[in-house]
RNA sequence: GGCGGUGUAGCUCAGUGGUUAGAGCGGCGGCUUCAUAAGCCGCAUGUCGGGGGUUCAAGUCCCUCCACCGCUACCA
């Protein structure tokens, strides 16, 4: 049986996440997993923080915190943001605490080395004597040798936009402490990507059916692939296995190497917690698995080439990715999200002011699927008010309040002689409806969101055409049948909504007087005349309230104001 | 510089080479009163960024130019 092993890019435990992260790799993964689960698929959604690397050591030192404490703080904080937005992982961990991570990462290193996929190179790097560490390009500042610009970055000159070799930079200084770095020889292991490409991964990657926005990247990367260093001179990380290190002491695996292995370590952690320690193999080493990586486009080379090369290189029948639905970038009001500059929307702040379910819907409806896109406050308000509140929310209240008033809060009886006519009108004459899940399976979340609204409109047209308020005076039995039919549709709507807005879907489900969890009902097949009703007549409605209270202009203006304030300070 | 993306109605966008290019929002007009001043129906607006080419046929394929954006890997 097919299994869906779904991963969301491991967030780096070095700061808070914002909407750009949510919409890129986490929300779509959550919706995808929820949808497939309702359809009866076996799904595992894996995530956790990426906690190694030099940026984290610098961050922790700045905060004067031990590394472990620093990453634990962000691990918890980031998880809290996901919880607020109803993003539910089956396992959540971190690369510095996951019990299998060190062992597994070292095993990858050892096996790749044994199988001839690692090479060693001697290189010269800048080393800061005061910080006592080698400086990554981005931590070097100096004068550009091309144009003389004095605050050039180690990797690129912002003025003349030329590539820089930090070793060639004039007057280099450590970006952290300002000291003048020295040149130092060091020896590192490199992953022999050209060889892995020629062995198998190249053919696999170029033959694989990627999403269109992924395919070009992959083709390009394959052509210019080079060996990549996978070790670093530092303490914070997974130590290079002692048996392999030889005289090269004090090195750890480079963070990009161990991070994706986290997907596997975390799965093992999950398996153990299930009491079936070997179960992780069913997911990672079974040909029945469909491995889906949700990532932002910056991660494409890793997930489409480098990590597959590693998985293949160890020769243990690991599955390779089935789909990598990479998103483009999400901006805020036309500019890049920037936590440090205050150009951001902290998830907690949003959740305190607005409806997170409505936020989920808007994010998905504006997701950068094929091109970069924007979070815009006025669009959020419009989506909330004219789609969610007016089309879905108002549909529920117009139908349910009518029944509260005239049918004592019960769903009235369906008169069998009207069933065929009402089915025909609802299902063939009130507009088109379709299964949102079909779009979700194709990673078309925007379209799925549109479809959800489209499906709700059908019932609004139905109500207008049949006008039960008028029928009530002339043909009460038919009026009752119309309302009963509307309730049937609302139940469908609740199910269709469930992956996008789980809590709202549940509220609607309860208003209809239905028991249990809507997410536990399975996914409905599309309504077909004569065979779609669950016979809700007679059921006592739950308390009816507005699903989506309108958002007024003032609260949106206030949010925009906060954004501007934060930028100024 | 290299690579990639985007450019379609006032706004946000959809559009497997094939009828008069579509949707939502916004605008205007009408209907309705069950409902969250909600709903429904109808109307309007396009040099499909410019130019060239291939084709019986181009928003769609090719070339070129323009504009905006992103990436450019020992950051993760």
Round and report the angstrom distance from CA (A341) to C1' (B65). 37
User: Among the residues of A18-143, which ranges form H helices?
Assistant: 19-21, 27-38, 54-62, 67-84, 101-114
Nearest nucleotide to A549 by CA–C1' distance? B36
Round and report the angstrom distance from CA (A480) to C1' (B43). 35
Task: Report how far residue A505's alpha carbon sits from residue A497's, in angstroms, rounded to the nearest whole number.
Answer: 6
SS3 content of chain A, % helix, strand, coil (to 5): 50, 15, 35
**What's the pLDDT tens digit per position in A120-131?**
998 888 888 888
Round and report the angstrom distance from CA (A566) to C1' (B10). 31
C-alpha torsion sign, points A231, A237, A238, A243: positive
Q: Is the pLDDT of residue A568 over 70?
A: no
Q: Residue A158: what pLDDT?
A: 66
Task: Report how far residue A419's alpha carbon sits from residue A46's, in angstroms, rounded to the nearest whole number.
Answer: 46
State whether residue A340 is helix, strand or coil: coil
Q: Is the pLDDT of residue A146 over 80?
A: no
Q: Residue A169: what pLDDT?
A: 81
pTM for the complete prediction? 0.95
Quick one: average pLDDT of A497-522?
Answer: 97
> Per-residue confidence at A216, pLDDT binned at 50, 70, 90?
confident
Nearest nucleotide to A254 by CA–C1' distance? B74
Higher pLDDT, A164 or A134: A134
**What's the pLDDT tens digit per position in A30-85?**
999 999 999 999 999 999 999 999 889 989 998 999 999 999 999 999 999 999 99
> Per-residue confidence at A552, pLDDT binned at 50, 70, 90?
very high
Nearest nucleotide to A390 by CA–C1' distance? B38
Nearest nucleotide to A406 by CA–C1' distance? B34
Round and report the angstrom distance from CA (A450) to C1' (B23). 10
Strand-strand pairing, A373-375 and A231-232: unpaired
Q: Which candidate, A297, A296, A293, places its Cα nearest to that of A307?
A: A293
**Kind and range of the H or E element at A143?**
strand A140-143
**What's the pLDDT tens digit per position in A221-267?**
887 788 989 999 988 999 999 998 888 888 999 988 999 999 999 99
Predicted complex: ipTM over 0.90: yes
Q: Residue A23: what pLDDT?
A: 92
In degrees and rounded to multiples of 5, residue A195 shows phi and psi of: -70, -40
Quick one: average pLDDT of A292-301?
Answer: 89
Q: What pairs with residue A336 in β-bridges?
A: A331
Task: Report how far residue A519's alpha carbon sits from residue A504's, in angstroms, rounded to the nearest whole number.
Answer: 11
Q: ∠A115-A217-A199 over CA atoms, to 5°?
A: 20
Task: Report how far residue A433's alpha carbon sits from residue A413's, in angstroms, rounded to the nearest whole number.
Answer: 25
Strand-strand pairing, A373-375 and A330-332: parallel
Q: Residue A528: what pLDDT?
A: 94
Q: Is the pLDDT of residue A515 over 80?
A: yes
Nearest nucleotide to A469 by CA–C1' distance? B34
Task: Report how far residue A166's alpha carbon sits from residue A245's, in angstroms, rounded to the nearest whole number.
Answer: 27
Q: Which nucleotides of strand B lie within 7 A of protein CB?
A: 1, 3-7, 12-15, 23-26, 32-36, 38-41, 69-76
Q: Residue A117: what pLDDT?
A: 95
Quick one: average pLDDT of A530-550?
Answer: 95
Round and report the angstrom distance from CA (A221) to C1' (B68). 25
State whether residue A121 is helix, strand or coil: strand
Q: Residue A337: what pLDDT?
A: 87
Quick one: average pLDDT of A104-110?
Answer: 97
Round and report the angstrom distance from CA (A264) to C1' (B3). 32
State whether residue A241 is helix, strand or coil: coil
Q: Which candidate, A253, A345, A372, places its Cα nearest to that of A563?
A: A345
Round and report the angstrom distance from CA (A359) to C1' (B25). 18
Q: Assign residue A419 a region: left if phi > 0, alpha if psi is -120 to 50, beta otherwise?
A: alpha
State the number of CA atoms in the 13 A half-sphere of A185 facing the CB. 3
Q: Please report the DSSP string for A440-493 in residue order.
A: HHTT-HHHHHHHHHHHHHHHHHHHHHH-HHHHHHH-HHHHHHHHHHHHHHHHHH
Q: Is the pLDDT of residue A332 over 70?
A: yes
Nearest residue (CA) to C1' of B11: A379
Q: Is the pLDDT of residue A526 over 90?
A: yes
Round and report the angstrom distance from CA (A446) to C1' (B15). 15
**What's the pLDDT tens digit per position in A83-94?**
999 999 999 999
**What's the pLDDT tens digit per position in A147-177?**
777 777 777 776 666 667 778 788 888 888 8
State whether residue A18 is helix, strand or coil: coil
Quick one: average pLDDT of A353-377?
Answer: 92
Nearest nucleotide to A456 by CA–C1' distance? B39
Q: Is the pLDDT of residue A420 over 70?
A: yes
The mean pLDDT value of chain A amounts to 92
Quick one: average pLDDT of A133-146?
Answer: 80
- A227 neighbors A188 (Cβ within 8 angstroms): no
């Amino acid at each position: 049986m097919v299994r869906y092993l779904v991963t969301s890019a491991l967030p780096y435990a070095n700061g808070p996440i914002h909407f750009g992260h949510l919409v890129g790799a986490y929300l779509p993964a959550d919706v995808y997993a929820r949808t497939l689960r309702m359809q009866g698929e076996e799904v595992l959604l894996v995530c956790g923080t990426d906690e190694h690397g030099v940026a984290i050591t610098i961050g922790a030192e700045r905060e004067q915190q031990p590394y472990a404490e620093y990453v634990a703080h962000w691990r918890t904080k980031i998880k809290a943001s996901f919880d607020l937005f109803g993003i539910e992982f089956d396992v959540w961990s971190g690369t510095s605490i996951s019990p299998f991570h060190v062992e597994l990462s070292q095993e990858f290193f050892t096996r790749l080395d044994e199988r001839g996929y690692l090479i060693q190179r001697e290189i010269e790097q800048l080393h800061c004597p005061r910080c006592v560490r080698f400086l990554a390009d981005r931590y070097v500042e100096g004068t550009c040798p091309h144009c003389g610009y004095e605050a050039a970055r180690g990797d690129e000159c912002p003025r003349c936009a030329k590539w820089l070799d930090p070793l060639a930079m004039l007057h280099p200084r450590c970006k952290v402490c300002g000291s003048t770095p020295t040149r130092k020889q060091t020896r590192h292991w490199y992953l022999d990507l050209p060889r892995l490409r020629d062995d198998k991964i190249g053919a696999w990657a170029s033959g694989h059916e990627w999403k269109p926005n992924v395919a070009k990247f992959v083709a390009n990367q394959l052509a210019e692939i080079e060996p990549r260093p996978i070790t670093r001179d530092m303490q914070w990380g997974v130590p290079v296995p002692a048996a392999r290190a030889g005289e090269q002491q004090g090195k750890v695996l480079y963070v990009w190497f161990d991070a994706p292995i986290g997907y596997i370590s975390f799965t093992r952690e999950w398996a153990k917690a299930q009491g079936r320690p070997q179960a992780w193999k069913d997911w990672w080493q079974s040909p029945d698995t469909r491995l889906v990586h949700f990532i932002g486009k910056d991660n494409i080379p890793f997930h489409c080439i480098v990590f597959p090369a590693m998985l293949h290189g160890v020769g243990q029948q690991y599955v390779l990715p089935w789909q990598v639905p990479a998103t483009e970038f999400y901006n805020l009001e036309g500019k890049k999200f920037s936590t440090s500059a205050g150009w951001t929307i902290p998830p907690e702040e949003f959740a305190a002011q607005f409806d997170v379910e409505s936020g989920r819907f808007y994010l998905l409806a504006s997701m950068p699927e094929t091109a970069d896109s924007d979070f815009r406050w006025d669009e959020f308000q419009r989506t909330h008010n004219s789609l969610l509140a007016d089309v879905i929310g108002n549909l529920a209240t117009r139908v349910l309040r009518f029944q509260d008033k005239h049918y004592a809060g019960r769903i009235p009886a369906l008169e069998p002689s009207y069933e065929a006519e009402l089915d025909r009108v609802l299902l063939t004459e009130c507009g088109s409806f379709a299964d949102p899940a079909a779009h979700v399976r194709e990673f078309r979340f925007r379209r799925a969101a549109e479809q959800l609204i489209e499906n709700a409109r059908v019932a609004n047209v139905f109500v207008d055409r049949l006008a039960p308020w008028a029928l009530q005076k002339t043909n009460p039995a038919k009026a009752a049948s119309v309302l009963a039919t509307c309730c049937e549709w609302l139940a469908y709507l609740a199910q269709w909504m469930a992956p996008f807005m789980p809590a709202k879907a549940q509220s609607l489900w309860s208003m209809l007087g239905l028991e249990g969890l809507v997410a536990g009902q399975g996914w409905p097949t599309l309504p077909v005349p004569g065979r779609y009703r669950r016979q809700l007549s007679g059921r006592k409605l739950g308390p009816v309230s507005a699903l989506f209270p309108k958002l007024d202009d003032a609260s949106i203006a206030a949010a925009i104001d906060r954004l501007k304030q934060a930028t100024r300070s």
